[in-house]
Structures are given as structure tokens and as C-alpha cells.
Amino acid sequence: MKSTTIYDCSIIEIDKHHHDKGNISVVENGNTVNFDVKRIYYLYDVPGGESRGGHAHKDLYQFMIAASGSFDVILNDGELKRTISLNRPYRGLLIVPGIWRELENFSSGSVCLVLASLRYNESDYIRDYDQFKEYKKISKGNLNINQIEPK
């Protein structure tokens, strides 16, 4: 696996079709995002001051959209951090595998819509930050996360 950095994550403008009766934005497999969407989920009613995320994925790509309201996404590749504010439903954030992510500063009524490249698979998650740091060291040497002993 290629060692990914926060700079491999990017903001993608979603096609916005304006109409007097309301706007529509469209996300298409292989066009808007460079993967086939296998799972869609959304976060909502996040209490003030709470954060979500706090993990990384080994293989999963995500396309994250603030369908309503706003929130911040903190991206971390083990060396650098970058905060992205999502607040427009026609702009999404592509998050590549091997990036630790945390979501915070949810506005009242916000909805975080996530399009994922894979179905849910617990073994794809790295939920411990120290294990993530070890994974990033190993991934730079093109070794496999399965070679790390769980803590």
C-alpha cells in the first residue's frame, strides 16, 4: 500500500444544478468519486461539544459531505494535521485510506453524509492512535498491518 498523507485527501466540488424550486447535487460512482459506493451512512443529532471519528481505515475511501449545517474534519497522517471545514452541501471531502480522522464543532442540526467504498468491516478500522502510528511506520515500508500485534 502506498503511504498516504493528508495531501492525498481533497475537496471535490459536486455538480450543482440550480432550479427555482430548489437545488440538486449529484454524486456518481467513478465520476464524482473515484470509487464505487458500497455503503452510505449519516451522522446527525451530535450533541454540542461532542466529537466523532477518532479512527483510520486501512483500505476504505470515504467521501464526506455536510448535507446540512457544518462541522470540522481534522485529518492526520501521523506527521501532519490539517483541519477542513465542511459547510456546503455541494462540496465534499475525499478521505483516502491510512488517514486518522476526527470530526468536531458540529453546528446545531448538522448532518454528515458519508459515502464509503466498502461495506462495514471492523478489521479495516484502526481505533487506537498508537497502533495507527505504528501502522504508518510499517506502511511506509510496504508491510501489512496484520504484522502488528494487537494491543
Say which of 18, 19, 55, 57 is annotated catalytic: 55
Q: What are phi and psi of 6, to 5 degrees?
A: -60, -25
Concerning whether 55 is annotated as a catalytic residue, the answer is yes
Asked if 41 contacts 31 with a C-beta cutoff of 8 angstroms, the reply is: no
Classified as helix, coil or strand, 137 is: helix
Residue ranges of alpha helices (H) inside the chain are: 129-140
Give the residue numbers marked as catalytic.
Answer: 55
